[in-house]
Amino acid sequence: MIVAFAVAPVVLVTLLIGLRGVAAMRTTSDFLVASRRVSPLLNSAAVSGEYLSAASFLGVAGLVVKDGVGSLWYPVGFTAGYIAMLALVAAPMRRSGALTVPDFAEARLASPSLRRLAAVVVLVIGALYLVPQFRTAGLVLSVVSGTPYWVGVAISGAAVSATLALGGMRAATYVQAFQFVFKLLLFIVPAIWLLVQAGPGVRDEAVHPVEFTHFDHDTEIVFRVGATLDVPDGALVVEPDGGTRPVPPGEWQVPAGSTVVFEDGSPVPELRGEAAPGAPGWERPLLDLHDEGYPLLGTWAVLIATMLGTMGLPHVIMRFHTSPDGRAARRTAALTVALLSVFYLFPGIYGVLGRVLVPHLYLSGATDSAVVALPAQVDDGSAGTLFTGLLTAGAFAAFLATSLGLLLVVSGAISHDLVPGGLRQLRVAVVGAAVTVVLLALPAARFDAGTLVTWGFTVAASTFCPLLVLGIWWRRLTAPGAIAGVAVGLVATAGAFLLTVSGPPVDGWLAILLVQPAPWSVPLAFATMIVVSLFGRPPPWSTAAMLRLHLHEHRPSPFADRSAVARDLGHSSWTARRSSAVRRITRRLVR
């Protein structure tokens, strides 16, 4: 029912707008960067639409419910990344004329192996980012409408790959710009409705957090993945026949796929390794990762990862290449900061209301669905259903828009950088990549979406961020240096993740630096790039290649007046443009 009313229109409009973009598409450039004719406002709406993924639409509010008010720092980092992008990357990157990040790497450093390595990094980031999108799509659909998990995954995979294979980037631009406006409305209007409808009692509870210790009504919890609970004395569950049954105190392994109804007034079991919503420390506006007792370090680590990661996200960078020139790319970044800032004023409202109304979601690890679960708690009539539908539609728009951009960049990496080919191959690559991601997402229901997405940011921060910043601002960067830095960043972050997942338990600040390796992996990647480059010798044209990126496009031609004043018009200008002449002049200027 909700699927029909909420998801179908989103998918349908996505497909229709996608079809509109099919017109006049002939080359790879048309497909990948919409022929570079997108205005700053449209482009920034598309960037924001692409960027506001499931992690922003659902994830932040869910993290506030689970971990506390400190989670509000995630959006700050997400937005701050665009300031860094505006200052360091946007305009020079666009002027390089490259289509993708691997393209840029090759254009600046002339190394095919760096290009292939960069393409592999794109695939890693793409997988870390795409799998949680599809997974959350499946999860949200199963929460609101009871469909099996795989249905949502399959629907989103089909819709995204069809739109892309037909329309490419031009379609994606319109679709994502439309979906930004759509998401903004579907996020703000329900937030205000919820605040009004919740009433003064709930609003007062929301700003006076207390620990979630007792159920205040009969609460049904669906465990889609298994959980280990520590049950206190006196916990009661309601049997299917209506009678109640006490749960033996101690450890309780709840199997995956079971449904438990706790009785009104029963004490709340504790989830192993997680503090309950509203517990002491919840109200502190700092991020204490894993409750290790280093809130400031945790907050800074997340800010570094999200801020620098945004600068290196390949699908965001690809969007900047659709601008007509460097100046438009810079304007796009500035406008994006403004658009995102409006959106990010609201996740906190869902978070603090969710702590009061749906704290039980933390037991089953389903706080990601807090946003769509809220309206039903406030109003059990048709208005509640309507707003659940609207929020589901918005969440689905979030999956689709982000997946569109990511899938495009992944298929671009495969068929533009790894195995160069034409437009037909690019379309085949899109479908192939979508099928692969759907297959990866099917067994991934138990992975936390927030963790995977943050890992994607961390990989981007430790690989592409140093590559782009040094490539644009440091003339002595060499190809071996760049390769070493990217490889070290990739290995360091992957190693930290593997240790977190399977390694020995550690605690204290070391645990934070393993869960969130950005504070050391990013400086390490920068240092490797610089040291290895200093041992080598940059090619003679490297200063010219770097300076070229900082020269804006629309300027009076220096040849027109010079030839009029000093030279005879028939003379060739090429002697003056010989690389040795350029080298001599730039050497005098850059010291």
Partner 1 sequence: MTGRRVTVTSPQTRLAHARRRYRGRWRPTTLDPAEAPKAVALYRVQLRGAALALGLLLTLIFGLPLLLALWPQLVDVRVFGIPLAWLAPVLVPFPAMVALGFWHLRRAERAEDE
Q: CA-based diameter of the chain, in Å? A: 102
Among 214, 272, 562, 571, binds partner 1 (CB under 8 A): 562
Q: Give the shortest CB-441-to-partner 1 separation in angstroms.
A: 32
Q: Give the shortest CB-560-to-partner 1 separation in angstroms.
A: 11
Q: Give the shortest CB-415-to-partner 1 separation in angstroms.
A: 15
Residues 132 and 125: beta-carbon distance below 8 Å: no
Write each residue from 432 to 451 as x if it is in contact with partner 1 (CB under 8 A), else as -, in one continuous string.
--------------------
The closest of 275, 123, 304 to 213, measured between CA atoms, is 275
DSSP class of residue 214? B
Q: What residues numbered 96-115 form the site for partner 1, per CB under 8 A? A: 106-107, 110, 112
Q: Give the shortest CB-244-to-partner 1 separation in angstroms.
A: 38
Question: Residue 114 and residue 107: Cα distance in Å, rounded?
Answer: 11
Helix axes 149-207, 423-441, angle to 10 degrees: 60
The closest of 196, 275, 292 to 500, measured between CA atoms, is 292
Establish how many alpha carbons lie within 13 A of residue 316's alpha carbon, considering only the half-sphere containing its beta carbon: 32
Among 60, 72, 316, 404, binds partner 1 (CB under 8 A): 72
Among 150, 473, 509, 520, binds partner 1 (CB under 8 A): 473
Taking CB under 8 A as the rule, does residue 279 contact partner 1?
no
Taking CB under 8 A as the rule, does residue 338 contact partner 1?
yes
Question: Residue 270 and residue 253: Cα distance in Å, rounded?
Answer: 12
Which amino acid appears at position 459 of this protein?
V
SS3 94: helix
Question: Residue 459 and residue 86: Cα distance in Å, rounded?
Answer: 21
Q: Phi/psi of residue 569, each to 5°?
A: -65, -25
Q: Give the shortest CB-224-to-partner 1 separation in angstroms.
A: 31
Residues 306 and 457: beta-carbon distance below 8 Å: yes
Q: Give the shortest CB-382-to-partner 1 separation in angstroms.
A: 31
Question: Residue 108 and residue 190: Cα distance in Å, rounded?
Answer: 47
Residues 218 and 265: beta-carbon distance below 8 Å: no
Taking CB under 8 A as the rule, does residue 418 contact partner 1?
no
Q: Give the shortest CB-376-to-partner 1 separation in angstroms.
A: 25
- By beta-carbon proximity to partner 1, the closer residue of 159 and 303 is 303
Which stretch in 171-179, 427-435, 522-530, 548-556 sits in contact with partner 1 by CB under 8 A?
548-556
The closest of 500, 474, 491 to 525, measured between CA atoms, is 491
Write each residue from 359 to 398 as x if it is in contact with partner 1 (CB under 8 A), else as -, in one continuous string.
----------------------------------------
* Positions in the binding site for partner 1 (CB under 8 A): 69-70, 72-73, 76-77, 79-80, 82-84, 86-88, 91, 106-107, 110, 112, 204, 207, 283-286, 295-296, 299-300, 303, 307, 327, 330-331, 333-334, 337-338, 341, 344-345, 348, 352, 473, 539, 541, 544-548, 550-552, 555, 558-559, 562, 576-577, 579, 581-582, 585-586, 589-590
